[in-house]
Amino acid sequence: MINRLAERIFRAPLIHILWISIVVSMLMTAAIVAPLSVYFRGSGTYGYMVTGAIASFFVSGGVTLLIIAFISHLRSVDNRHQAEQSAAAAINLRLAAALEQAGEGVYITDAGDKIVYANPAFTRITGYSAAEVLGKSPDVLSSGKLPEQFFRTMWETLRAGKLWEGRFINRRKDGGLFEQHTSISPVFGADGTTVHYVAVIRDVSREEMLNRTRRYFTMITSHELRTPLSRMQLVESLITSALTAPADQKELLRQAGEGLEHCRKDFDDILATTDLLAQLSGGEGRGEYRPCHLYFLLQQCAAFTGKRIGEEQRNLTFTIDVARLPAFTLVRANQEMLGWAVNELLANAVRFTPDGGTVTLEVNIEGDNAVIAVTDTGIGIPKGSGRYVFEPYFALEDLTTHSSGKYRFKSGGMGLGLTLVKMVMEHHNADLSLKSEGENRGTRAAFRLKLASEETAA
């Protein structure tokens, strides 16, 4: 009650405070002077009362002026404080609006690494709404593909009060992987301790894909063209020899014809690869996502692989298991890209499986996803090499031989097959995994595609 009374007096007009103070002081003076007059003079004399009233008027007026000056000063300080608060509130509103409308994702965590704010761009990039991540750690986005040392270095930098900047491989809400450039800044309190961390994130998957495709284009032109060009020189030499050879010797012409056929196949592979890279880098593939009947696509891939195994006279057991896949199952995909990727995985399995082995194409439905797997009983992946299999020009065979026949055992390929398959899967937000128990223990390549209805696939 006293606080409310003091607040009302503090907010009252100064003129009111002045007159009320004077009247109250005069009444109080009269109440004090009258008893004193009676006590000292025996009665309340008129002169004593007037003198006391005049004295009290000037004393109370002076005190009142001091009180008014003090209240005016307090009000001035309070007004400045309110103005500063209003200005700060206006800045905060503008800052909040800027964060809400920012093109880059922003999230803020407390000192315990729990998210307390996430803007709409964060939702657009990750698929998680702010309500889904508030109170949770940013680890909700973790893909598990970065080493512990990466995070130790990051936290050492942040706890030293410094800005950290780097790239994560994170996982969206729908399960798709993406590469994220992130800068994280510590925010300090009045006592110098860290109270918040502000992270600004940007999806750079597309940018990285463009950079990779540029590098691969360079690799193809500088590396892959050497093989057909060398063969063409050999063909030229054979034809020259044939022109001067006896008429009944056709072996040189036959060899020249084979050499030209090999050159044609090499150029076909190079053109197919560069065309795929052009689609990946130019964004054409994403614009060609359409409803795709997965059952029939896998059947076509299996038929093509079976035919090529027969042409190469390989002694392999090749099976396809799609019994658990409904015939009209749909996925939203670029059918040409997806078919190429499945064929490449099958060719890879055949190429590294010796005669007498088995290659299997199978599909399982797990929730609203189709899991497609290619399994073989081939040479497997040597220990310590698993992390390199998606690197361009990493190979288990001798690439310098470039043996003809993509489906022959340990024949040389371009060295970009799995690299491009991984890029196609990233293009479809599908995580490609390659597992092997070790050398001569076989390999399993698998990827997961989200199922779609006619409406969602359109």
- Whether residues 36 and 61 fall in one domain: yes
CB contact at 8 A, 295 and 336: no
What pTM was computed for the model?
A: 0.50
Residue 399, pLDDT score: 43
CATH assignment at residue 400:
3.30.565.10
| Token reading at 357 | 């082995």
What is the C-alpha to C-alpha distance for residues 158 and 394, in angstroms, rounded to an integer? 36
Q: Which residue positions in the chain have pLDDT lower than 70?
A: 1-75, 77-79, 82-99, 102, 206, 209-231, 233-236, 238, 240, 242-250, 252-254, 262, 265-266, 270-271, 273-274, 277-288, 384-405, 412-416, 453-458
- Whether residues 339 and 456 fall in one domain: yes
CB contact at 8 A, 277 and 217: yes
- Whether residues 121 and 8 fall in one domain: no
What is the C-alpha to C-alpha distance for residues 334 and 428, in angstroms, rounded to an integer? 8
| Token reading at 271 | 């053109």
Which residues share a beta bridge with 110? Answer: 196
Helix and strand tally (H, E) in the chain?
14, 12
- Whether residues 181 and 219 fall in one domain: no
Instruction: Choose one of 180, 203, 226: the last residue of a domain.
Output: 203
- Residue indicated by tokens 């007026």: 61
Instruction: Choose one of 259, 282, 305: the last residue of a domain.
Output: 282
Q: What's the DSSP call for residue 199?
A: E
Domain that holds residue 301: 288-458
- Angle (CA) 422-122-448 rounded to 5° is 30
| Token reading at 428 | 């479809």
Residue 457, pLDDT score: 44
- Whether residues 310 and 441 fall in one domain: yes
- Whether residues 261 and 311 fall in one domain: no
Residue 94, pLDDT score: 65
CATH assignment at residue 180:
3.30.450.20
Phi, psi for residue 186 in degrees, rounded to 5: -75, 145
| Residue 392 neighbours by CB distance under 10 Å | 18
What is the C-alpha to C-alpha distance for residues 429 and 424, in angstroms, rounded to an integer? 9
- Whether residues 145 and 272 fall in one domain: no
- Angle (CA) 204-207-208 rounded to 5° is 85
| Token reading at 129 | 């709404």
- Whether residues 427 and 338 fall in one domain: yes
- Whether residues 299 and 445 fall in one domain: yes
- Whether residues 303 and 435 fall in one domain: yes
- Whether residues 45 and 89 fall in one domain: yes
- Whether residues 347 and 448 fall in one domain: yes
Q: What's the DSSP call for residue 376?
A: E
What is the C-alpha to C-alpha distance for residues 458 and 455, in angstroms, rounded to an integer? 5
- Nearest alpha carbon to residue 44 among 56, 31, 34: 34
Instruction: Choose one of 160, 185, 203: the last residue of a domain.
Output: 203
CB contact at 8 A, 199 and 138: yes
| Residue 125 neighbours by CB distance under 10 Å | 19
Looking at the structure of the chain, the number of domains it has is: 4
Residue 218, pLDDT score: 63
Residue 50, pLDDT score: 63
